[in-house]
Amino acid sequence: MDLIETYQSDAMERPLIRRRLFWALVASVILHIGIVLWFRQTHLPQFNAPVERLVPRIFNVKNITINTAELDKEEAPAPPAAQDQKPALKPLDVPDEKPMAEISEGKMTPAAPATVDVVKPVANDKLVVDPNDAQAIVRLQESTRQAMMQDLNSLKDSILKDQPEAVTHSLIRLPEAQATDAAGTDAQEMARASGRLDRLLSHGLHAGDAPVTLPGGALFEFASADLLPSAIEQMQKLGMLIRKSPNVTFFIEGFTDSFGDADYNEQLSQDRADGVRNWLVQNADVDPARIQATGYGATNFLVKPQPVDMHSQASIDQEKLLEQPNRRVEIRFKFLKTR
């Protein structure tokens, strides 16, 4: 709306502008005509033309005398051009050379050699070394080596600084508030697993029973396969269940979330499964032949991973909490066939 109003106001002012330009042009023409007429009527004495001329334009010649004898004479030939003369050669002064040796009284004495300035290469501007001083040479070499090492280290640091930092996703820690929430969730999951073990100890194992899921955050330290002291009670219950079920083979399977390198996650899950198996064998008097430990890494997710912006810490933290159920250890059962 503002653009339309501005356009209309300009259109209304155009006739007024044209009239002003016309009268300005008329006033300019009148002014110039008045200046021309004034200069035609006014005489400036400084610019008047002189009355007398220094040289007349027309002059009269009465008699002209021509000497015909001079006209009949042939023009004398021009003298030949002087050839370029070579400059006289100046005698060359050859300095007297001194003999390499002077002969006097039947003996030849060597002449003193001329002094020659020898410029030695300078390895270090601040250190002057005597060639005959072995210790000084060693010090010079050592200082040069140290300088080269410093240059190489600075070059290495600059190259490493320009490269992007490699972030190991599995080692990303949660903020304190979210870590507290994660610990609370792990504690709740461990309480459910403890109740499940109690029921299995009371009623015994049966074919088709679902596996027991133990949260990884309640079993192990962060990015570690060492069992936490709070997980010992559950390990003792699991050992009692294994001893009470002689016809069952137990499979300990470790899983991780989707963060981090695949090889690292697979190795971490294997180490955690082995950690549970080793504790049961060493502390719960369990036959190692009845326990198998396998690490599956970032597979068999209970919660589907979501796209994560690795440049946003908030996005990483949110996905870490979302995938908390994926970090776990599952205990599966397989009944042996009986005759």
Q: What is the pLDDT of residue 124?
A: 47
Residue 198: pLDDT band (50, 70, 90) is very high
For residue 200, the 8-state DSSP code is H
Q: Which residue has the higher pLDDT, 53 or 298?
A: 298
pLDDT at 285: 92
Q: Are 216 and 323 in contact (CB under 8 A)?
A: no
Of 27-31, 58-62, 101-105, 190-194, the range with the lowest mean pLDDT is 101-105
Q: What percent of the chain has pLDDT over 70?
A: 62
Q: What is the mean pLDDT of residues 64-84?
A: 63
For residue 227 the two structure tokens come to 């069992």
> CB count, 10 Å around CB of 172?
16
Positive/negative CA dihedral, 314, 315, 321, 327: negative
Amino acid at 12: M
Residue from 332, 195, 317 nearest 273 by CA: 332
Q: Where are the alpha helices (DSSP H) in 204-261?
A: 216-219, 232-244
CB 269 within 8 A of CB 252: no
As a whole number, mean pLDDT of residues 295-314 equals 92
Can you give the pLDDT at residue 68? Answer: 72
Task: Kindly tell me if the per-residue pLDDT of 216 is higher than 80.
Answer: yes
Tens of pLDDT, residues 224-279: 889 999 899 999 999 999 999 999 999 999 999 998 899 999 999 999 999 999 99
Paired tokens of 106: 């039947």
Q: In the predicted model, what is the mean pLDDT of the chain?
A: 76
Confidence of residue 77 (pLDDT cuts 50, 70, 90): low
Query: Which pLDDT score is estimated for 67?
Result: 72
Output the pLDDT for position 139: 78
pLDDT, residue 328, reads 93
* pLDDT, mean of residues 100-118: 47
SS3 254: strand
Mean pLDDT on 195-200: 92
Residue 273 near residue 251, CB atoms below 8 Å? no
